[in-house]
Amino acid sequence: MTISMYQASVPVFTRALTNLITVLEKGAAFAEAKKIEPSVLLDYRLAADMFPLTRQVQIATDMAKGCIARLGGQEPPKYEDNEASFPELIARLRKTIDFISSFSASQIDGTEDKIITLQRKDTQVTYKGLPYLLSYVQPNVYFHCTTTYAILRHVGVEIGKQDFVGKL
């Protein structure tokens, strides 16, 4: 049995981002129930040198939409990164899910050897499609989703592994 580039990307990212919506909804409900200003949670970070929750969500969506766009031969859409509330972050996640879901398997499959070039500050990094997806993008999406989960769990939001993993 083989797995395609599409199967290893669009459904995987859709699931991770959908589950992140659930986590953020529980975070918003927690803030409301505890009378905590939502910005306190959105600006929270696990360590001083880590990004706050809001940026974690932004990066997770940037990684997913960028990957699918590049593999699919399109320029990734640019978002303003100005979300300042739980509803705005959830809307960003939904927009990203809609975008990546607009790609068909025929646009993504067969891109294992496609050259993907990313511009960094002062340099360019080049990947082939399969290692780009499996060794760069997937770990980054999971890292930023996990960090968002960990921030909310740390501040007391009642979420568990099932919220992160979702239902099969």
Residue 66's domain is classified under what CATH number?
1.20.120.450
Residue 1 belongs to some domain of the structure: no
Give dist(CA 166, CA 161) in Å, integer: 8
Give the per-residue pLDDT at 168: 76
Per-residue pLDDT, 2:
87
**pLDDT at residue 97, as a whole number:** 98
46 lies in a domain? yes
Q: What is the model's pLDDT at position 56?
A: 98
Please check whether residue 117 is in contact with residue 15, taking contact to mean a CB–CB distance below 8 angstroms. no
Q: Are 100 and 66 in contact (CB under 8 A)?
A: no
Into how many domains does the chain fold?
1
pTM score, two decimals? 0.96
Give residue 107's pLDDT.
98
Asked whether residue 5 is assigned to any structural domain, the reply reads no
Query: What pLDDT does 155 receive?
Result: 97
Residue 52: predicted pLDDT: 98
Report d(CA 9, CA 96) in Å as an integer.
Answer: 13
Instruction: Answer yes or no: are the C-beta atoms of 135 and 116 closer than 8 Å.
Output: no
Angle at 79 between CA 129 and CA 41, to 5 degrees: 105
Residue 4 located in a structural domain: no
**Residue 123's pLDDT is what?**
94
Query: Is 2 among the domain residues?
Result: no
Those residues of the chain that have pLDDT short of 70 are 1
**Residue found by looking up tokens 């025929």 in the block:** 106
3 part of a folded domain: no
**Secondary element (H or E) of residue 115:** strand 115-119
Q: Which domain holds residue 146?
A: 10-165
